[in-house]
Amino acid sequence: MLKINEIFYSIQGEGTKTGQPCIFIRLTYCNLRCTYCDTEYAFYEGKDMSIDEIFTEIKKYNCNLVEVTGGEPLMQNESFDLMTQLCNSGYSVMLETGGSLPIINVDQRVKIILDLKCPSSGMEKKNDYSNIDFIKQSDEIKFVIGNKEDFDWSKEIVKQYNLDSKCVVLFSPVFGRIENRELVDWILKDNLNVRFQTQLHKYIWEPDKKGV
């Protein structure tokens, strides 16, 4: 059984799939406490569901793109089986993970979005940099940036691990903490090979709205 916070159908708000219809499977529990977290309700709330029950729910939607998110999905071991079964059933599967838990056992068909935590998150020391060794070219590494210190730190991590040659690198502003234009100006000034992104869903709906 998996502890599921919510399952919903919306558009993908982040990354290279931005704007595409997507089914989200949000798992309960998280081992991190980022200062800007917008899903604190997923820390504990949820209901037990079997993988069969999850499939019954997602089959209600005529959509092939599925994101397994949280919370932190990898806190629940059965999430690995869930992702493999989703892939076996023909779904295009993405995993959003906080970067503190090992990704080595994630099915190779899954597109991983690895969220390396910047200093202002308060969780920088939790980053497991060994995960970078298992990143595929089809994956994405994300930095959520709250200030200039975060930007400079992220820039150095990209350079140190040569991340922009391994996969798409995403720079995203912390919503409401810095202006989009500010981050874009920094990226252009330093001529970085990264992709700027916003949380599109927060501009379509209210920023704190659930299920979108």
Looking at the 3D structure of the chain, how many domains does it have? 1
Judge whether 210 lies within some domain: no
pLDDT-derived band at 199, boundaries 50, 70, 90:
confident
Contact 81, 51 (CB under 8 A): yes
Judge whether 127 lies within some domain: yes
Measured distance CA(30)–CA(126) in Å, rounded: 12
Contact 78, 2 (CB under 8 A): yes
Judge whether 198 lies within some domain: yes
Judge whether 212 lies within some domain: no
So what's the pLDDT on residue 207?
64
Among the residue ranges 32-36, 115-119, 161-165, the one predicted with the least confidence is 32-36
Whose structure tokens read 């919503």? Answer: 175
pLDDT: which is higher, 179 or 199: 179
Is residue 48 classed exposed, middle or buried when 0-12, 13-18 and 19+ CB atoms within 10 A define those classes? exposed
Judge whether 36 lies within some domain: yes
Task: Tell me the DSSP string of 10-52.
Answer: EE--SGGGTTSEEEEEEES--S---TT-S-GGGTT--EEE-HH
So what's the pLDDT on residue 209?
65
Judge whether 199 lies within some domain: yes
Contact 16, 65 (CB under 8 A): no
Measured distance CA(206)–CA(122) in Å, rounded: 25
- Summarize the confidence of residues 26-46 as an average pLDDT: 92
> How confident is the prediction for the chain on average, in pLDDT?
94
Judge whether 32 lies within some domain: yes
Could you tell me whether strands 168-173 and 140-145 are parallel, antiparallel, or unpaired per DSSP bridges?
parallel
Residue whose C-alpha is closest to residue 6's, from 41, 50, 35: 41
Judge whether 209 lies within some domain: no
Contact 135, 146 (CB under 8 A): no
So what's the pLDDT on residue 175?
83
Q: pLDDT tens-digit profile of 91-139?
A: 999 999 999 999 999 999 999 999 999 999 999 999 999 999 999 999 9
* CATH classification at residue 51: 3.20.20.70
What is the domain range of residue 143?
2-204
